Structure 1
Amino acid sequence: MLRRLAPALLTLVVVALGITALTARPQRAAPERTADFVVLAGVAGLRWEDVDAQTTPTLWRMARDGSIGSLSVRSAHRPTCPVDGWLTLGAGSYAAWNGSRQSEGCPPTAVTVEQPDGIGANLPDQESVVRHNQERLPWGTVPGALSESVRCSVAVGPGAAVAAARPFGRVDRYAAALPEDPAELLGSCVLSIVDLGTVTGEDPARRAAAAREADARLARVLAARPPRSVVFVAGVSDTDVPSRLHVAVADGPGWERGWLTSASTGREGYLQLVDLAPTALTALGRPMPERLFLGRPAVSVDGRPADLATAIAQPADADREAAAQRRVADWFFALLAGVQVLLAVAVLPLLRRARRHAGPYGPEPVSPRVVSVVELLLIAAALAVPAALLADAVPWWRGDHAGVYFAGVTVVLLAAATAVVRLAPGYASTLGPLGAVAGLTTLAVGVDVLTGARLQLNGVVGYSALEGGRYAGLGTVGLGVFLAGALLSAGWLAQRVRRSWRPMVVVAVGGVAVVVVGSPYLGADPIGAIALTAGLSVAAAISAGGWLTISRLAWATMAGLALTIGFAVLDLRRPAAERGSLGRFLAAVGDGTGGLTVHRSSTANFETLVNSPLTVLALAGALLVWFALLQPWGGLMRLFGIYPAVRAAMAGTAVAAVIGGLLGGDALDVAGAAGALVVPMAALAALRVLDHSTDRTLPDAAGQRDGEPDGDDASGGDAPGGDGDGPGGGDGPGGGHTGGPGGDGPDGDGDGPDDGGPGGDGGGPTTGSRADGRATRANDGDRASTDRPSTEVTAS
């Protein structure tokens, strides 16, 4: 009865863990009305390195008394040029000015502003801009949504006119330049948008002069601000390539001396350009337009250093790191893909010659020294991503040669991690390196997530705040290596216990991983948690042996669906501003706008598939597995027959990685990151299991097989319910690579036919018997016969 109920109980445990992790959210007080007037002042290109007490004294004092943060200026165009930034500010969603432009750089864009009555203004191009954003871009953006949400708005300068123009082009009140005394103008409407100028170029003197002029205009704004008002200063766009992080400052009631953050970033000290529109409306106590804003209201949180210079140094340093990250990440992943492809090619001849031949003739075996070197290279390749993650603990980006410093730090950490695996107990066993590498990877990524994912933010193998996709929790690469490491660790541990306990071990380890991935306090990736749940269910179902039968697949599918439905129902019950990505998508489906989300996801999948080096990793790994490791000479099928829990872990990893990438809009990136860990370890384990293919396991005095607990029978395999290598087991008479009759059938777990089939892929009565009468060592594929006494027999 317990055996029959086990799948149902495991399914319930996985679902309960997942829903608990996904639905528990940090308690944040809802933003409240804090002002009667809001002034949004923008300076295109303004970065934190431009702010100091001498050059920008007004902004310095405002930052000292108010709240500060790093502003990501992502728009619908890359890079975000000034006109795109102003348009995005007024839309509250990713927007772009229409017209043909270069893919890089920001050429001057003339904006026609007409003033027919001397009070307001009109943008004759606004109609075509709205049509361009509605019909040709996937965001469904409505330019002017912010101005449409208030009765009256003021714009000063051409950039502000772009932000304040209503969808039909009208600007309520407009001034081409800031008056000497703008008090009357700023007090005429509850919302004012002011263009303070542009800071461009890389020449320090030129940037300082432009920042000084903008600061002088800001001084006039602050002197004339209406009573009970909030003033926001934002570097609304890029002016050069590459993109950078920009200034965000808020000053007014409720914004005193803190860090700016929003629900769209989930990271203290970071907010997006699309957050400014909902922030302005929330400060004024106005309702949000439904389904128009992608951003979330910003709030001020405590924790900022008391010294302003120290506080400003943090976002300035983050800007330098984010700028360096993009350059270094491109060559790192290209190099990683190239190295892994070369290793895959180098492993092929070793696989063909790794298995010992029973007869006197055969190819000369590869030198053990060469095999040892290749094994170390495979371990280093698998540990490359964790080493690169840990390298961000060292501020390599502060030097003039950031890429060289990063490479040096990564190589040192990679050598240290490889040495740890090499010197770890059990390295000589077949699964020793796999378990050590999986454990180190899971530990490295898990500790980073538990401590706030600081190494992933703007990290080479993490995510960039410049991209605007993620600011906290697990990134794409982190998710791939973490789910692979967690499932391989679970399989490695499960292989060391009795068959009946293996699903419980897999669920215990994988369940913790689901919580880490999905919890809003930790990984904050509900899509990743759902994908990991599906992979975990598959792994648990086949960890005890046998194939993925219809009943097992049904339980795995039910677990994934139950988790998804449970989370979706609870997410939909939250207020609209607090919903996660799944809840927002289902709400959009309900009101007929879900097609935009599907279109954005499919577009992102295609772009990632075509442009990402991780796609090469995923495809190269799949080709190596399918055309080499899974072939009769490749060793992976033999490995799967002897170690069903490892087979389950690898199958679960493939399922989770593919689902997580496709649903998250990352195509094969998650699979590529997971493959960077799994494929080298699979190749190494296959090499070792082939090297032991002629060894035989014989019973010892206690009737145990090496690596198995008490209770195994004396026939060299397991007792009923086992998966041993004795007669009727994986490598018994008539065995070969994957086992003789009954590998996981009647003498296995009773799930059906044997794994290997009669004769496996070998032949003869006992694969590995020596024709010249030499002794055959007793070995189960893990360690030599010298580990136990009296285990040698002589072939007659």
Structure 2
Amino acid sequence: MRRLWVPYALVLLAVLASLGGLAVRPAKGAPQSTADYVIVAGAAGLRWDDLDPQRTPTLWQEATKGSIGWLSVRSAQRVTCPSDGWVTLGAGNYAAYPRILTGSSRCGPLAPELDQPDAIGANITNQRNIVQDNQDRLPYGAVPGSLAESVRCTVAVGPGAAIAAARPFGRVDKYQATLPADPRSLLSDCVLSFIDLGTITGSGASRATLVEQADATLARVVAARPDRSLLLVAGVSDTDRTSRLHVAIAEGPGWNGGWLTSAGTGRQGYLQLIDLAPTILTALGKAQPEKLFAGRAASVVTGKPANVADAVQGPHNADQRAGAQRGVATIFFTVLAILQFLLFAAIVPVMVRARRHSGPKGPALPSARVVETVELALIAAALAIPAALLADASPWWRAHHPAWVFGLVTGALIVAGTAAVRLAPRYRRTLWPMAAVAACGAIVVGLDLLTGAQLQLNGVAGYSAINGARYAGVGGVGLGVFVTGLLVLAGCTAQSVAKAYRPLIFVLLGGVGVVMVGSPYLGADPIGAIAVTAGVCVAAAMSTGGWLTFTRFAWAALAGLAVTIAFAVVDLRRPELEQGSLGRFLSAFGDGSGGPALQRMAAANGETLLASPLTILAIVGVLMLAFCQFSPWGGLNRLFGLHPAIRAAGAGTTVATLIAGVLGGSALTVAGAAAAAAVPIAVLTALRVLLHAADRTRPEGESDGPGGPLLRKSGQDHLAPR
């Protein structure tokens, strides 16, 4: 009786340890110092490579003295034009401004409908329509003018500043079209001032001239700023149809050096445009409006190099890398989808020939050379994404042809990984390639998370900061590979232990996955952690063999629900500014604002489903698995019958990746990455089983260990296709 309860006790301890690892969260907060005035100087299109110590001395000096970061200017529009950036700044949320479609690749000029009924302020005559449009048409719940409405009065200089400073009913308290000769009095009239430094567009000498003009205007602002004032300099938007990262500088009391960050990005050196509004109110010591701001107040972390050029230019130009990532990622995953489709199509005839026929006549078995080639190709295909992740450690993005350089580095890593798996002494064991490839994927992603997810940030197999969706932790591609690697490795390992202990293997490795994915120190993805929990519960329930009965499903669902509730309680008990995405999501439903959150999730799923090459990878993988399972030549059913833990791993992976994709707003991205890593090795193992379908099956109790020999005939092991 005591031995019977040992596995269950160990499972319970593993679950409790997982929850304990998730309960810890780093403490973050805004600077303690407050300011009497805040001045926001915005220049649409301003990037870090525009700055120079000789041509832009004021910008360079402020960046040297103050705290700096990369600014993501995501708004409610696909491309954030200047008017979208300014209205998003004033709303503290993803907003949009009505625009005139010109058919040009560049954004239209700033042209708010301004009316100046007196010599003091101004009115944006269509502001009520702008607010209504954001409330009715867009799913973010943004209210343009929320920032201005949170302070007593505001000053605006220039058309862009007027858009940000206008209250929801359109009034701009104090307005000047241009900065006066002596702006000292104007900048001290109100606690919050917006200054439009102009729009930086074009290239070459014309762009340099615009930057110099913005720097000269900023110099006059710096000279006239009141005491105890915080100066925020921001490149508030893009200026054409290409999205970029922009300048963010904060200089004033409590902002003297260091990197800018926020709880919204979780990455030092990165800030969102929607973070500026809560930062302003926090610096002024004022409360934030409830349910209106989507951003988080910025804070400062140490580690910024003393020289601005060493921090954000040259080899440290994150904007250049993020821009290159977006193009190369599309090429990589499209090519991978095409190659996997062609590989699976070429393997089908091999699998048809691999199945022995009962009659006297039938097609000859495929030659050993053909089988060897097919196996190596399948291993290489399964290692493509882990190799791409490792390739992001190289400076491929600085090359003249980044796609070619990235492809060569990735190809070399794939060849090296394939050779390592092939030359391993245990290669001939039936499950060894599956276990080795799964371990490679889990180890690569796991080590990256332990070292700060440096390979995934702006990496081809990761995520781009320009998209504004994720800045730290595990991305959708990494999550798919990591979950697949852990569960498949658990399935291969579980075959070497007694049935009663197989669920323990899944729970132990799955618990590691839950902690690494959900911990704010590592994966920072609580939705992904819940998905992994569900997948692990299903896999553990099926690991001892048999089908997923209602009883097993009920126990798995209850266990997953218990972990999810515990995680949610932990997240909800944290301060609001420290809550993760799960806590914010549940809080939205609790206060009645969950509708827009669901609408945003549905919109993100629909857009990603149609636009991502990973959707093709998911579909191709499902079709190949369907052939392997339901075709007489597939071999997958036989593999699952002989190795029930492998079937459990497949079921758990499917559940986890689908939940993570749908709830995370990434549709089939996670499932596509999982399919790219898991389907090739599943096909390889099914092919090995087919080639030995007529051999005598070794009893389960005679297994030699993880990935041990599966088949035996006449006292001799026949482990590889003949």
Taking structure 2 as the reference length, what is the TM-score of the superposition? 0.96
Cα distance in 1, alignment partners of residues 368 and 132 from structure 2 = 68
User: Which residue does 2:124 correspond to in 1?
Assistant: 123
Q: What is the distance in 2 between the residues matched to 1:592 and 1:182?
A: 45
Q: Do 1:14 and 1:559's aligned partners in 2 also have CA atoms closer than 8 Å?
A: no
The Cα of 1:493 is off from its aligned counterpart by: 1.3
Residue type at the aligned position of 1:88 = T
Q: Which residue is equivalent to 2:704?
A: 707
| Preserved contact between residue 32 and residue 285 of structure 1 (Cα < 8 Å) | no
Instruction: Say whether the 8 Å CA contact 1:264–1:295 is kept in structure 2.
Output: yes
Amino acid of the structure 1 residue aligned with 2:44: A
C-alpha deviation, 1:532, in angstroms: 0.5
For the 8 Å contact 1:69–1:315, the answer to whether it is kept is no
The equivalent of 1:161 in structure 2 is 162
**2:171 is aligned with 1:170:** yes
Unaligned segments of structure 1, at least 5 residues: 717-723, 727-775, 786-796
Mark the CA change 1:294 to 1:7 in structure 2 (over 3 Å): closer, same or farther: farther
Amino acid at match of 1:707: D
Q: Flag the 1:143–1:10 CA change in 2: closer, same or farther, 3 A.
A: farther
How far apart are residue 461 of structure 1 and its match? Answer: 1.3
| Cα gap change, 1:162 to 1:6, in 2 (>3 Å) | farther
| Aligned: 1:71 with 2:68 | no
Distance 1:536 1:319 in 2: 38
Larger radius of gyration: 1
Aligned to 1:600: 600
Deviation at 1:262, TM superposition (A): 0.5
Q: Kindly provide the CA deviation profile for residues 684-708 of structure 1, in whole angstroms up to 9, marking residues without a partner as x.
A: 0000011111222569xxx972425
1:210 maps to a residue whose letter is L
- Partner amino acid, structure 2, of 1:116: P
SS at match of 1:208: helix
Equivalents in 1 of 2:256, 2:690: separation in Å? 67
Letter aligned with residue 54 of structure 1: Q
CA distance in 1, matches of 2:64, 2:30: 25
CA distance in 2, matches of 1:191, 1:253: 16
User: Secondary structure of 1:466's partner?
Assistant: helix
Q: What is the aligned partner in structure 1 of residue 339 from structure 2?
A: 339
CA distance in 1, matches of 2:447, 2:145: 44
Which structure has the highest helix share of the two? 2
Deviation sequence 1:461-489 (CA, Å, 0-9, x none): 10110011100000010001110011111
Which residue in the other structure is 2:496 paired with? 496
* Shift, 1:566, TM fit: 1.3
Secondary structure of 1:43's counterpart equals strand
Q: CA deviation at 1:346?
A: 1.4
> What is the aligned partner in structure 2 of residue 642 from structure 1?
642
Matches within 5 A, 1:40-189: 40-99=40-99, 101=101, 105-189=106-190
* 1:245-324 equivalent positions in 2, closer than 5 A: 245-313=245-313, 317-324=317-324
- What residue in structure 2 maps to residue 26 of structure 1? 26
Structure 1 residues 288, 31: closer, same or farther in 2, change over 3 A?
farther
Q: CA deviation at 1:5?
A: 5.0
Offset of residue 302 of structure 1: 0.6
How much has 1:225 moved relative to structure 2? 0.5
Q: In structure 2, the residue corresponding to 1:119 is in which secondary structure?
A: coil
Deviation, structure 1 residue 425:
2.3
Whole-angstrom CA distance in 2 between matches of 1:356 and 1:658: 36
Q: Which has the higher contact order (CA 8 A, sep 6+)?
A: 2
The alignment partner of 2:403 has SS state of helix
**Contact 2:110/2:160 (<8 A) preserved:** no
Q: Which residue of 2 aligns with 1:199?
A: 200
Tell me by how many angstroms 1:594 deviates: 0.5
The letter for the 1-side match of 2:459 is G
Distance 1:725 1:381 in 2: 26
* Aligned-residue offset at 1:574: 2.0
CA distance in 1, matches of 2:113, 2:252: 34
SS of corresponding position for 1:20: helix
Please state how far the C-alpha of 1:107 moved relative to its aligned partner.
Answer: 2.5
- How far apart, in 2, do the equivalents of 1:668 and 1:308 lie? 40
CA 1:660–1:11 in 2, change beyond 3 Å: closer, same or farther? farther
Higher mean Cα deviation, 356-365 or 225-234? 356-365
Deviation for aligned residue 1:195? 0.3
SS in structure 1 of the partner of residue 42 of structure 2:
strand
Identity rate, percent: 60
Distance in 2, matches of 1:659 and 1:777, equals: 47
Structure 1 residue 359 displacement after superposition: 5.0
Deviations 1:642-672 (A, max 9, x none): 1111111111101101111111111111111
The letter for the 2-side match of 1:274 is I
- Which residue does 2:576 correspond to in 1? 576
Aligned to 1:449: 449
Alpha-carbon deviations, 1:492-511, whole Å to 9, x = none?
11112232222212211121
CA 1:405/1:315 → structure 2, altered by over 3 Å: closer, same or farther?
Answer: closer
- Cα separation, 1, equivalents of 2:422 and 2:142: 55
CA drift of 1:588 comes to 1.4
The Cα shift of 1:271 comes to: 0.4
**How far apart are 1:67 and its partner, in Å?**
0.7
Instruction: Tell me the equivalent position of 1:422.
Output: 422
Inter-partner Cα distance in structure 2 for 1:704 and 1:284: 71
1:89-120 C-alpha deviation (Å, 9 max, x unpaired): 11100011124536964123521211111101
Q: After the TM superposition, which residues 684-699 of structure 1 pair with which residues of structure 2 at under 5 Å, given as runs?
A: 684-697=684-697
Q: Which residue of 1 aligns with 2:372?
A: 372
Report if the CA contact (8 A) 1:73-1:246 is conserved: yes
Contact 2:711 2:717 survives alignment (8 Å): yes
Instruction: Report which stretch shifted further, 221-230 or 553-562.
Output: 553-562
1:114-170 Cα distance to aligned partner (Å, 9 max, x none): 111110110001111111100000101000110010011111100000000000000
Q: Deviations over 1:516-566 (max 9, x none)?
A: 111100001101111011111111122122221222211210122112211
AA in 2 matched with 1:123: I
Q: Is the 8 A contact 1:69 1:269 kept in 2?
A: yes
Q: CA deviation at 1:10?
A: 6.2
Q: Which amino acid aligns with 2:114?
A: V
1:415 CA drift (Å): 1.0
- Return 386-395 or 308-317, whichever deviates more: 308-317
1:264-303 deviation digits (Å, cap 9, x = unpaired): 0000000000000000000000001011111000011111
| Residue-by-residue CA offset, 1:754-789 (whole Å, 9 max, x unaligned) | xxxxxxxxxxxxxxxxxxxxxx5446764699xxxx
Partner of 1:474 in structure 2? Answer: 474
Q: 2: distance between equivalents of 1:76 and 1:113? A: 23
Q: Which amino acid counterpart does residue 160 of structure 2 have in structure 1?
A: G
Give the distance between the partners of 2:385 and 2:24, measured in 1 at CA. 30
Query: What secondary structure sits across from 1:117 in the alignment?
Result: coil
Q: Secondary structure at the match of 1:247?
A: strand
8 A contact 1:70–1:271 mirrored in 2: yes
Q: Which amino acid letter does the alignment assign opposite residue 119 of structure 1?
A: I
**TM-score, scaled relative to structure 1:** 0.87
Structure 2: runs of 5 or more not aligned? none
Alignment match, 2:678: 678
> Structure 1 stretch 619-628 or stretch 320-329: which is displaced more?
619-628
For 2:483, the equivalent position in structure 1 comes to 483
Residue by residue over 1:41-70, the C-alpha shift from the partner in whole angstroms, topping out at 9 and shown as x without a partner, is 001101000111011101111111111100
State the 1:417 CA deviation.
1.1
RMSD: 2.2
Tell me the distance in 2 between the aligned counterparts of 1:459 and 1:289.
36
8 A Cα contact 1:695 1:777, kept in partner: no
Shift of 1:315: 8.8
1:632 paired with 2:638, answer no
CA distance in 2, matches of 1:38, 1:56: 22
Residues 315, 185 of structure 1: alpha-carbon distance in 2 compared, 3 angstrom cutoff: farther
- The answer (yes or no) to whether the contact 2:371–2:721 under 8 Å persists in 1 is no
| One-letter amino acid matched to 2:702 | R
d(CA) in 2 for partners of 1:374 and 1:333?
21
Render the CA deviation track for 1:583-631: whole Å, top value 9, x for unaligned: 1122211221110101111111111111111111111111111233343
Structure 1 Cα separation of the partners of residues 14 and 672 of structure 2: 26
Mapped to 2, the partners of 1:277 and 1:566 lie a distance apart of: 33
Q: How many residues align?
A: 720
In structure 1, what is the Cα distance between the partners aligned to 2:13 and 2:616?
36
